[in-house]
Structure 1
Amino acid sequence: MKSHTNTNHEQRRSELAELRRELRDKQGYLSDDSEELWKAISQWILESYNVPVGSLQTKVQTEMAELQDDPLHKMYDHADVDDGEEAFPKRCKGCPHYGVQCPPLARYHPKKTFERILDESEDDDELQAELSAYAAKHHCSVLQEIISEWERGYANFLSRGEQLRTLLNADIKGIDLETVNGLELEFESPGDALSSPATPSPSTAAGHGDEPPAEAAERIETVTESIMTEDETEGEA
């Protein structure tokens, strides 16, 4: 999925660069009493150079590898530990496989399926759907956490920037957003938008909350069925 990964990566950088350029170019036209908004925009611009825009594949591979940084963390009970839990990092505590054997990293067939998903997914959207189904089937809380963090990180940061752009344009044009009829977005103060991830509106929340949108849920269900069929076939082999 290298070419698709690079395309997604460049697209995200382009989105950030475009938004950053507009905020920087228009910032000087803010009214004199908009100091808080000016500071919020300045901080967002600085943060935009460091926001993670890498692929989900890279994030998953990196964080799953970090689970085995300690040589004792072989992700299965082995002779070098007195207790099976010592073979796992604390991040895995609470997983039903904790102290026994980790499916994606230590069980043969689930591990092969995990590696196939990483290698064969065409883009981040497909990888997200396949990994979500896989993590749900094998009750892997770490994978679920990684996917959720990846979803929230870039989307929330971009949402904050878009909110600041709307507030900036409204200030320049002298528009009171609270008086605009039919405006669905609920804007926070610039300080709130800066210090914490913006609360997504109904239109942007879909796909970034705890529940996936209907289309994604259907895709995940289909992928789950195919993974289960594959594992059952491998188990019979």
Structure 2
Amino acid sequence: MSEDINAKLQRNRDAIDTIDKQVVQRLNQRVLHDGGADEAQVLAKVAAFNPGPLSDATLQAIYRALMLAGLDPAAQATDPAVTDEIDRSIVQLLSQRVLHAAEIGKIKHANGADYYDPTREAQVMAKIAALNPGPITNGTLQSVYREVISGSIALEKKLVIGYLGPEATYTHQAAIRNFGVSLDYRAIKTIPDVFSEVESGRADYGVVPIENSTEGAVFHSMDMLVESNLHICSQVYLPIEHCLISQSPL
């Protein structure tokens, strides 16, 4: 790439670094303030604050990831106007971040780069963990940023992610954990069909199980990796947990 293009890339990356510092700070402030609103009220509020280009669904996924961790135990009851100001700031900062990410994406895609870059994503996750003063855990921050990255990709291209279905299986959950909620997910009946969908271009990426902690290695997936020209670009670990439901008392 030319010197001018590299300079433009660096300007946008520097802007994102500055924004990320502010976002991490504001997210940590947010969990220390209880404005008294329930989840539905918070999600409606952030959608109302949204100036674009992020979709309301992406912003709400970001806030669900934040609220899933809950408020910090030291959180204080706060005037709703205070939490509104923090939330408005977070939404505006994320909107600015996406614009800079889109500029970087345009340059990289014009030079043949993929929309999904797991190496770059890992660098972002390491950066925000290093910026994090707490009390939010790094895991919560990374869940938030996975949705930020997913929403940014969706603005450039709605990637199709094929996975071994049906919907709500562990493979589906693993796909969402890896790519975020903002992309297009398609349940596929068999492992060979997942490979076929990606090879044909009907899906951009495929997600299949390689190993199962209760059943061991999934040899069908391994055989397909040997036979196919496709390659592994990322992996995700998902603990398998089951809930026992009964009408009998414990």
TM-score, scaled relative to structure 2 = 0.25
Higher helix share: 1
Higher strand share: 2
Q: For the pair shown, which has the larger CA radius of gyration, 1 or 2?
A: 1
Higher relative contact order (CA 8 A, sep 6+): 1
TM-score, scaled relative to structure 1 = 0.26
